[in-house]
Amino acid sequence: MGKALQGYRDQVVLATKFGNVRSADGTSLGINGRPEYVQLACEASLQRLRPRC
C-alpha cells in the first residue's frame, strides 16, 4: 500500500480493522477491543504502511 499511495498520501483516508487476535500460526486467540490493543493494532498497521518509496 505504501508504494500504491506514493504521491497521494495527503489525499487518501485509509481505514484499518482490528480486534481478531491471532497467533503466529494463524490460530484465533479471540477478540480484543481494549483501548491498549486498538493503539497497538493501529501502530502495527502504520508500520506496515510506512515505507515511502
Domain boundaries, the chain: 9-49
Higher pLDDT among residues 16 and 30, named by residue? 30
Look over the chain and give the mean of its residue pLDDT values, rounded to a whole number: 84
Q: Which residues contact 31 (CB under 8 A, 6 or more apart)?
A: 19, 20, 21
C-alpha cell read off for 49: 504502511
Q: How confident is the model at residue 51 (pLDDT cuts 50, 70, 90)?
A: low
| Mean pLDDT for the stretch of residues 30-40 | 92
pTM: 0.57
3-state class percentages of the chain: helix first, strand second, coil last, to nearest 5: 35, 15, 55
| Mean pLDDT for the stretch of residues 1-9 | 80
Q: What is the pLDDT of residue 32?
A: 94
